[in-house]
């Protein structure tokens, strides 16, 4: 039974889902990194929010971990490349808290415009400072959105409801989408001087880190107000403090900070700064959504292999998973077949998807082919890290897809080019779900790959089959199935036989010594 650790505060709905699906679940929040490191090895899944830092060290200790599920959007607290390298799926819940976070940004904008937190504190203190607080109206003001994805788009919609004019900077926002959202797509240098309010909704990446620094703030309209409900690292906090002090920036509302939990910060105590402790996603609705979603997604992956909202592996929906499953076996087998025969560096991998298979999502199948191909060279390879391992080894991987059928209704052909040769193997599904190899090196054959297989290439000459059968029999190896193919009478021939016992190296040498044999190899399949 898979075991999951929930290491951040998640709605109890998540525990219930794991339990209902037969997954043992421990909830241990507030663990120090060393405490997490000490226990993570026991778990197949780790469900987190933003507190837990899933670092390289934690991942190195996570010897059984298969999936990290982020109940939320940003995964900057997870070392995704390190997880990928270890074959661990990282998934998030990309929509569950977007409305809630957009609402928080709007709330922060109001709080800034009307100085609500300061006015609140002053009134509670019995000061009745009616003349101290003079706000600004939002109607007719320009809102500049930096990052117009899911949350940015909801903010745009709500701001338009408030009769604001919305402009957006997002290099990946298409002109059509901008039109649909009724926002004006602009460059960052145009947004800065035009916006009365600027709200940030990008992920934290190398391109967005410190996007709001002294230089950027100098380009802004004097008296601009800045809202950050995305990530602390987007804003240079010292530069913001200076701009607040000079009056260039009239106010800032921050839900996120460079260092979190933010117990100390130079901006704290500044009356122009409104702060919340990373509450963007904190509504009961959003937390219920993300907890349910992450638990379902993790359970699906651990129990069925279905992948949803993964950041480092192609998604396979629960609906597609059963259709793809027999192809996954086939893809892995042909990959493994070629991998076990490959003894020199691979330069190029071509995977052809022909007929019915071409109509499916082939990305996971390519990952499975690569897993099979690379595993003989690297035991730690799996479907998640295989494409990365291939890239690291400078292996060029290409897919060719054609839905038109040839001799087979559906066919997957793998061609591997090494420094020395090109090798190809192709397979199909019989009866809709039985994987069969139907072509090796362009020679037709029809074979089911069992656990122990002997593969021989030979010259098509009389006497070979009898000699091989006698040799195997004399060495206590029983033949279970026997498949032959040849290019032409008397030409190149191949033999693939399933045997009930493993073939020892000594016996392989004897097979290789038979006069007609060119190559003999013992292959194993899961």
Ligand X SMILES: O=C(O)CCC(=O)C(=O)O
Ligand Y SMILES: NC(=O)C1=CN([C@@H]2O[C@H](COP(=O)(O)OP(=O)(O)OC[C@H]3O[C@@H](n4cnc5c(N)ncnc54)[C@H](O)[C@@H]3O)[C@@H](O)[C@H]2O)C=CC1
Provide the b/e sequence for 507-520 (b: ≥16 CB within 10 Å): beebbeeeebbeeb
Identify the CA nearest to 72 among candidates 356, 292, 233, 327: 292
Q: Across-strand partners of 219? A: none
Q: Contact between 202 and ligand Y (CB under 6 A)?
A: yes
**Which 203-222 residues touch ligand Y, going by CB under 6 A?**
203, 205, 207-208
Q: Please say which residue, 148 or 324, places its beta carbon nearer to ligand Y.
A: 148
Q: Is 278 a catalytic residue?
A: yes
CB 468 within 8 A of CB 461: no
Tell me how far, at minimum, the Cβ of 8 lies from ligand X, in Å: 7
Q: Contact between 101 and ligand Y (CB under 6 A)?
A: yes
CA distance 424 to 105: 56
Binder of ligand Y out of 232, 280, 387, 485 (CB under 6 A): 280
Tell me how far, at minimum, the Cβ of 120 lies from ligand X, in Å: 23
Q: Contact between 485 and ligand X (CB under 6 A)?
A: no
Q: Please say which residue, 282 or 308, places its beta carbon nearer to ligand X.
A: 282
Q: Exactly one of 57, 184, 260, 446 is catalytic; name it.
A: 260
Q: How would you classify the pairing of strands 346-355 and 410-418?
A: antiparallel
Binder of ligand X out of 58, 102, 281, 324 (CB under 6 A): 281
CA distance 281 to 285: 9
CB 36 within 8 A of CB 52: yes
Q: Contact between 148 and ligand Y (CB under 6 A)?
A: yes
Tell me how far, at minimum, the Cβ of 68 lies from ligand X, in Å: 14
Q: Exactly one of 278, 356, 413, 436 is catalytic; name it.
A: 278
Q: Encoding tokens for residue 163?
A: 């009769």
Q: Encoding tokens for residue 491?
A: 């030409």
Tell me how far, at minimum, the Cβ of 173 lies from ligand Y, in Å: 6
Binder of ligand X out of 278, 356, 413, 436 (CB under 6 A): 278
Contacts of 362 (CB under 8 A, 6+ apart): 351, 353, 399, 401
Size of the site for ligand Y (CB under 6 A): 32
Q: Is 403 a catalytic residue?
A: no
415-418-424 Cα angle (round to 5): 20
**Which 24-53 residues touch ligand X, going by CB under 6 A?**
49-50
Contacts of 124 (CB under 8 A, 6+ apart): none
Q: Is 177 a catalytic residue?
A: no
**Distance between terminal CA atoms of the chain?**
21
Binder of ligand X out of 62, 73, 241, 299 (CB under 6 A): 73
Residues carrying an active site annotation: 231, 260, 278
Q: Kindly list the residues in this chain that would bind ligand Y in the complex (CB under 6 A).
A: 72-74, 94, 97-98, 101, 146-152, 169-172, 201-203, 205, 207-208, 229-231, 255-256, 278, 280-281
């Amino acid at each position: 039974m898979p075991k999951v650790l929930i290491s951040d505060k998640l709605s109890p709905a998540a525990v219930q889902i794991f339990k209902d699906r037969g997954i043992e679940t421990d909830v241990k929040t507030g663990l120090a990194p060393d405490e997490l490191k000490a226990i993570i090895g026991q778990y197949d899944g780790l469900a987190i929010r933003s507190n837990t830092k899933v670092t390289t060290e934690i991942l190195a200790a996570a010897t059984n971990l298969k999936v990290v599920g982020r109940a939320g959007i940003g995964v900057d607290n997870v070392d995704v490349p390190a997880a990928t390298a270890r074959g661990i799926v990282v998934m998030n819940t990309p929509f569950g808290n977007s409305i809630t976070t957009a609402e928080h940004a709007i709330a922060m904008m109001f709080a800034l415009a009307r100085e609500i937190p300061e006015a609140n504190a002053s009134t509670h203190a019995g000061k009745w400072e009616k003349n101290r607080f003079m706000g600004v109206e939002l109607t007719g003001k320009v809102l500049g959105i930096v990052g117009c994805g899911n949350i940015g788009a909801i903010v745009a919609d709500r701001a338009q409801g408030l009769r604001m004019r919305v402009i957006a900077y997002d290099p990946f926002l298409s002109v059509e989408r901008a039109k649909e959202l009724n926002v004006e797509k602009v460059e960052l240098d145009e947004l800065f001087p035009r916006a009365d309010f600027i709200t940030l909704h990008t992920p934290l990446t190398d391109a967005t880190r410190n996007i709001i620094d002294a230089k950027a703030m100098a380009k802004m309209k004097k008296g601009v107000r800045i809202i950050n409900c995305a990530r602390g690292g987007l804003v240079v906090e010292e530069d913001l403090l200076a701009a607040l002090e000079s009056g260039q920036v009239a106010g800032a509302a921050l839900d996120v900070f460079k260092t979190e939990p933010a117990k100390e910060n130079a901006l704290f105590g500044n009356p122009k700064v409104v702060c919340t402790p990373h509450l963007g996603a904190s509504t009961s609705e959003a937390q219920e959504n993300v907890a349910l979603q992450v638990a379902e997604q993790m359970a699906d992956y651990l129990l069925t292999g279905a992948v949803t909202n993964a950041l480092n592996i192609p998604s396979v929906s629960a609906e597609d998973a059963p259709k793809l499953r027999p192809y996954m076996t086939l893809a892995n087998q042909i990959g493994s077949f070629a991998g076990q025969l490959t003894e020199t560096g691979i330069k190029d991998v071509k995977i052809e998807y022909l007929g019915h298979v071409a109509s499916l999502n082939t990305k996971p199948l390519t990952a499975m082919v690569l897993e099979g191909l690379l595993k003989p060279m690297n035991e730690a390879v799996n479907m998640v890290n295989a494409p990365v391992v291939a890239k690291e080894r400078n292996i060029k991987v290409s897919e060719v897809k054609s839905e038109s059928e040839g001799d087979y209704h559906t066919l997957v052909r793998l061609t591997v080019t090494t420094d020395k040769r090109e090798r190809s193997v192709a397979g199909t599904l019989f009866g809709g779900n039985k994987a069969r190899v139907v072509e090796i090196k362009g020679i037709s054959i029809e074979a089911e790959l069992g656990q122990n297989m002997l593969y021989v290439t030979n010259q098509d000459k009389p006497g070979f089959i009898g000699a091989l059968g006698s040799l195997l029999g004399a060495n206590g190896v029983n033949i279970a199935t026997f498949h032959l193919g040849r290019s032409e009478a008397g030409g190149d021939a191949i033999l693939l036989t399933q045997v009930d016992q493993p073939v020892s190296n000594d016996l392989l040498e004897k097979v290789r010594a038979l006069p007609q044999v060119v190559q003999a190899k013992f292959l194993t399949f899961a």
